[in-house]
Amino acid sequence: MVQPKPPTNPINLTQKASLIDQQWSPRVVAEMNDYQFKVVRIEGEFIWHSHPETDEAFLVLEGTLRIDLPDGPVYVAPGELYVVPRGIEHRTAAEGEAKLMMIEPRGILNTGHEGGDRTAVNDQWI
Protein backbone atom coordinates (compact mmCIF):
# COMPACT_ATOMS: atom_id res chain seq x y z
CA MET A 1 0.00 0.00 0.00
CA VAL A 2 1.32 3.45 -0.92
CA GLN A 3 1.54 5.85 2.02
CA PRO A 4 -0.23 9.17 1.16
CA LYS A 5 1.84 12.33 1.39
CA PRO A 6 0.94 14.75 4.16
CA PRO A 7 -0.27 18.23 3.12
CA THR A 8 2.52 20.73 2.53
CA ASN A 9 0.82 23.57 4.45
CA PRO A 10 -1.69 23.92 7.28
CA ILE A 11 -5.24 24.93 6.34
CA ASN A 12 -6.30 28.45 7.32
CA LEU A 13 -10.01 27.92 8.05
CA THR A 14 -10.97 31.60 8.17
CA GLN A 15 -9.22 32.29 4.87
CA LYS A 16 -10.93 29.30 3.23
CA ALA A 17 -14.34 30.45 4.51
CA SER A 18 -13.75 33.92 3.06
CA LEU A 19 -13.37 32.34 -0.41
CA ILE A 20 -16.95 31.03 -0.37
CA ASP A 21 -19.11 33.32 -2.50
CA GLN A 22 -22.53 32.45 -1.07
CA GLN A 23 -23.89 31.73 2.37
CA TRP A 24 -25.21 28.35 3.49
CA SER A 25 -22.90 26.56 1.00
CA PRO A 26 -20.50 24.37 2.99
CA ARG A 27 -17.18 23.56 1.32
CA VAL A 28 -14.85 20.71 2.23
CA VAL A 29 -11.34 21.71 3.33
CA ALA A 30 -10.06 18.34 4.60
CA GLU A 31 -10.98 14.73 5.23
CA MET A 32 -9.99 12.32 7.98
CA ASN A 33 -11.06 8.72 7.60
CA ASP A 34 -14.77 9.00 6.67
CA TYR A 35 -15.20 12.48 8.16
CA GLN A 36 -15.19 15.80 6.34
CA PHE A 37 -14.16 19.18 7.72
CA LYS A 38 -16.28 21.86 6.06
CA VAL A 39 -16.29 25.64 6.29
CA VAL A 40 -19.41 27.73 5.72
CA ARG A 41 -20.59 31.33 5.94
CA ILE A 42 -24.07 31.85 7.39
CA GLU A 43 -26.43 34.69 8.21
CA GLY A 44 -30.10 34.55 9.14
CA GLU A 45 -31.89 31.31 10.00
CA PHE A 46 -31.61 27.87 8.45
CA ILE A 47 -34.39 25.26 8.44
CA TRP A 48 -35.28 22.89 11.29
CA HIS A 49 -33.80 19.46 10.59
CA SER A 50 -32.07 16.48 12.18
CA HIS A 51 -29.47 13.88 11.27
CA PRO A 52 -30.76 10.51 12.57
CA GLU A 53 -27.55 8.72 11.59
CA THR A 54 -24.84 11.01 13.02
CA ASP A 55 -23.80 13.73 15.43
CA GLU A 56 -22.85 17.11 13.90
CA ALA A 57 -20.08 19.36 15.26
CA PHE A 58 -19.86 23.14 14.84
CA LEU A 59 -16.71 25.16 15.59
CA VAL A 60 -17.19 28.93 15.36
CA LEU A 61 -14.41 30.82 13.59
CA GLU A 62 -15.99 34.31 13.48
CA GLY A 63 -19.29 35.77 14.68
CA THR A 64 -21.79 34.07 16.98
CA LEU A 65 -23.72 30.94 16.10
CA ARG A 66 -27.15 30.30 17.59
CA ILE A 67 -28.29 26.70 17.55
CA ASP A 68 -32.01 26.41 18.21
CA LEU A 69 -32.86 23.15 19.98
CA PRO A 70 -36.19 21.79 21.27
CA ASP A 71 -35.33 22.98 24.82
CA GLY A 72 -34.08 26.42 23.76
CA PRO A 73 -31.13 28.04 22.01
CA VAL A 74 -27.41 27.52 22.57
CA TYR A 75 -25.02 30.38 21.68
CA VAL A 76 -21.57 29.45 20.42
CA ALA A 77 -18.82 32.11 20.33
CA PRO A 78 -15.57 32.19 18.31
CA GLY A 79 -13.22 29.44 19.41
CA GLU A 80 -16.07 27.39 20.89
CA LEU A 81 -17.32 24.00 19.74
CA TYR A 82 -20.80 22.49 20.07
CA VAL A 83 -21.90 18.98 19.08
CA VAL A 84 -25.55 18.37 18.20
CA PRO A 85 -26.28 14.72 19.07
CA ARG A 86 -27.68 12.45 16.38
CA GLY A 87 -31.42 12.63 15.95
CA ILE A 88 -31.86 15.97 17.75
CA GLU A 89 -33.87 18.47 15.71
CA HIS A 90 -31.99 21.77 15.39
CA ARG A 91 -31.73 24.97 13.39
CA THR A 92 -28.59 27.06 13.00
CA ALA A 93 -28.74 30.85 12.82
CA ALA A 94 -26.60 33.98 13.02
CA GLU A 95 -27.78 37.58 13.43
CA GLY A 96 -24.70 38.93 11.63
CA GLU A 97 -22.50 36.83 9.39
CA ALA A 98 -20.74 33.94 11.09
CA LYS A 99 -18.02 31.65 9.75
CA LEU A 100 -18.02 28.07 10.97
CA MET A 101 -16.29 24.77 10.56
CA MET A 102 -18.56 21.72 10.56
CA ILE A 103 -17.32 18.18 11.17
CA GLU A 104 -19.49 15.34 9.93
CA PRO A 105 -19.28 12.05 8.02
CA ARG A 106 -18.87 12.24 4.25
CA GLY A 107 -22.21 12.25 2.42
CA ILE A 108 -24.35 13.93 5.11
CA LEU A 109 -26.73 16.52 3.66
CA ASN A 110 -26.85 19.90 5.37
CA THR A 111 -30.66 19.71 5.52
CA GLY A 112 -30.76 16.17 6.92
CA HIS A 113 -33.78 14.36 5.48
CA GLU A 114 -35.80 17.57 5.06
CA GLY A 115 -34.45 18.40 1.59
CA GLY A 116 -35.62 21.54 -0.17
CA ASP A 117 -33.94 24.47 -1.87
CA ARG A 118 -31.45 24.99 0.99
CA THR A 119 -29.84 21.59 0.38
CA ALA A 120 -26.20 22.14 -0.61
CA VAL A 121 -24.28 19.97 -3.07
CA ASN A 122 -21.96 17.60 -1.21
CA ASP A 123 -18.22 17.09 -1.74
CA GLN A 124 -17.46 20.57 -3.06
CA TRP A 125 -13.89 21.43 -2.09
CA ILE A 126 -12.36 24.85 -1.64
- At 6 the pLDDT is 73
Residue type (1 letter), 95: E
Domains located in the chain, CATH noted: 13-105 (2.60.120.10)
Over the stretch 110-124, which tens digit does the pLDDT of each residue have? 766 666 776 778 888
Which candidate, 8, 10, 12, 33, places its Cα nearest to that of 101? 12
pTM over 0.75: yes
pLDDT at 1 over 90: no
Mean pLDDT of 71-97: 97
